[in-house]
With several copies, the nearest count.
Chain A
Amino acid sequence: MPDQRSLPVRVLDHPASYVAHGLLALAGLFYFGYLVATWVPFAIKQLKSSYLIFFFHFPNALNTFVFFGGCLGGSVLFLITKQPRWDRWARCSAEVGVMAGFVLLATGMTWAKAAWDHWWVWDDPRLMSAAVMMLTYLGYLTLQAGIEDPHKRRTFSAVFGVLAFLNIPIVHKAIEWFGETSHPPKLDGLSDPSIIATRWFGVLVFLILYLLLLRWRQSRLTTTEEIEDALDRIRRLEEAPR
């Protein structure tokens, strides 16, 4: 049977592309670490943990949004096209987004502990919105795991994927306004060009890394679902009246 898939799909599915992607991510991470360790000005390094952690916090914050946005995109496209692959895209994006969110929360909490001596700061709108976002997307994954019928599962998850994303800006505004008003001091002086460049490079590196994860999860899920589909079709053929 000749391979009927289009050229880009065949290239992306080839093992070599995974290896290349992985090597790229690895190289990026090393160079990122090198930049953090050597390039950014020494003055701010005195903040120690709260400073170093920032370069891991910021890229994960942005990437959390990117992948939750990916989940929104997949959900909308699934609702329009009804193609299972958009559901898989949305689901895997949510998984990777939740992972990035965990890194975001963990680095945020470490930072909070170092800077303000509390693990958690209820009135930091960014930390709180991230946590509420995480709760919402953990709910999304619970929903995906909790429905057996495939069409129902995909549709309902997509609907919730849209609602979940719509809520994010409202959550952020509400917590900014109604959180307690004992604002802890914020870190300043992060505008040195080397810092800006390094943190945006970090965003790119983590994006590459998480895209690798996304591809891996997607290909696993595709295989599983295709096998299930095939088994389903075989069973229906066997049961059908001749």
Chain B
Amino acid sequence: MNPLRAYFSLVRWDWAREWKRKETLIAMAMMSLITLFIFSVAMPPVQEVLEDTRGGILWVTFVLAGTVGIDRAFRGDGDGRLLTGLLLSPVGRGTVYYARITSTMLGVVLMEAMTLGLFMLLFDQSLEWEGLLVVVGVTLAATLGFVAVGVILSAMTWSLRGGDAILRILLFPLLIPLLSAAVHATNEAFAGRPIGFQPVAVIGAFDLVFIGAGQLLFEFVVDGTETGT
């Protein structure tokens, strides 16, 4: 099959499935809401403090809620039929990997859009048009890297006992450079300053390195899964 057509049909199929039950979307939205409220309780939601913490609150929320979605990227109905089914389909593994990144990222981005809107409303933050564009751009770019490395790790951990904790233990340290760049850029954008070249370079490098490595390594992860179960 034409890889591009296969890719689109996989993404469509994923979305039809998720859209019917919305379980993952709801779980992510709830986690995001709850995390925002926990931050408002744990750290004073006043303007002077928020100037130093808003990027962090936003991105920790993105990561905590997004990981709920990434954790489920391969769980499907919980019995592994999803990944097995995908691999039996006459589609290259690279295509499966990119399709899975795309559909997971769609869900995560939806959650992030909701979170950003709610954050600005509840924490009384505002952005100029340029700032908003920067935040959206940075969020999309950083989410791509986040999901790309998350999907690889999710494919490894979903079948393990205590896999959800292992996923987080493996994923979060890898995300630290991405997070620090995204937090820095988001804070600059909220403060109305230009973000400069550095965050773009770090996020771009992260995306390139981990999407490239991810595509190569996905093959091996699949081999490991097949003989394992």
Contacts and interface: CB of A to CB of B under 8 A. Distances in A.
Given A79-B220, A119-B122, A162-B213, A135 B37 contact: yes
A163 interface: yes
A104 to B, nearest CB: 16
A152 B224 contact: yes
B217 A162 contact: yes
B180 interface: yes
Contact of B198 (A143, A170, A178): A178
B177 interface: yes
A224 interface: no
B6 interface: no
Given A143-B166, A163-B152, A163-B217, A119 B206 contact: no
Nearest to A80: B220
A156 B155 CA distance: 9
A142 B160 CA distance: 12
Contact of A174 (B40, B202, B225): B202
A122 B139 CA distance: 25
A90 to B, nearest CB: 13
Contacts of B41: 178
Interface centre among A118, A145, A146, A166 (most CB of B within 10 A): A146
B113 interface: no
Given A132-B173, A163-B213, A142 B202 contact: no
A173 interface: yes
26 contacts: A119-B121, A122-B40, A135-B33, A142-B26, A145-B26, A146-B160, A147-B160, A151-B224, A152-B224, A152-B228, A155-B221, A156-B156, A159-B220, A159-B221, A160-B170, A162-B217, A163-B152, A163-B174, A167-B177, A170-B209, A173-B205, A174-B202, A175-B180, A177-B199, A177-B202, A180-B46
Interface in A149-192: 149, 151-152, 154-156, 158-160, 162-164, 166-167, 170-171, 173-175, 177-180, 182
Interface centre among B45, B169, B173, B201 (most CB of A within 10 A): B173
Where chain B touches its partner, the secondary structure class is helix
B184 interface: yes
B23 interface: yes
Interface centre among A147, A164, A174, A179 (most CB of B within 10 A): A174
A136 B173 contact: yes
Contacts of A179: 180
B34 interface: yes
Given A156-B224, A166-B209, A182 B46 contact: yes
A139 B173 contact: yes
B124 interface: yes
B181 interface: yes
A158 B220 contact: yes
Contacts of A132: 37, 173, 176
A184 to B, nearest CB: 12
Interface of B: 23, 26-27, 30, 33-34, 37, 40-41, 44-46, 121-124, 149, 152-153, 156, 160-162, 166, 169-170, 173-174, 176-178, 180-181, 183-184, 198-199, 201-202, 205-206, 209-210, 213, 217, 220-221, 223-225, 227-228
Nearest to A152: B228
Counting contact residues on chain A (CB < 8 A from B), the size range is 35 or more
Contacts of B162: 146
A136 B223 CA distance: 24
Given A152-B224, A170-B177, A178 B184 contact: yes
Contacts of A178: 41, 180-181, 183-184, 198-199, 202
A39 to B, nearest CB: 34
Contacts of B34: 135
A221 interface: no
A192 to B, nearest CB: 33
A136 B160 CA distance: 19
Contact of A151 (B173, B198, B205, B227): B227
A230 interface: no
A58 interface: no
Contacts of B46: 180, 182
A175 B122 CA distance: 16
A213 interface: no
